[in-house]
Amino acid sequence: MKTITKTFAGNYQNLAAIGEFVVKIASDQGFSSKEVYAIQTAVDEACANIIDHAYKGEDLGEIKITITSFPDRIEIFIEDTGESFAPEEVPAPDITSPLEIRKERGLGVFFIRKLMDEATFDCSSEDCNTLTLVKFKRS
Partner 1 sequence: MNFSINPLSHCDLIKISGRIDSYTAPKIQDALDSLIRKGQYNILVDMQDVSYLSSSGILVFLDAQRKLKGQGNGKMILTNLPPNIFSVFEIVGLENVFNCCEDVQSAEERFQK
Residues that bind partner 1 (CB under 8 A): 12-13, 15-16, 19, 33-34, 37-38, 40-41, 44-45, 48, 51-52, 95-96, 99-100, 102, 104, 107-108, 110-111, 114-115
Between CA 17 and CA 6 the distance in angstroms is 11
**Nearer Cβ to partner 1 (52/68):** 52
Q: Least Å distance between CB 11 and partner 1? A: 8
DSSP letters along 33-88, please?
HHHHHHHHHHHHHHHHHIIIIISSSTTSSEEEEEEEE-SSEEEEEEEE-S----GG
Minimal distance in Å, beta carbon 137 to partner 1? 16
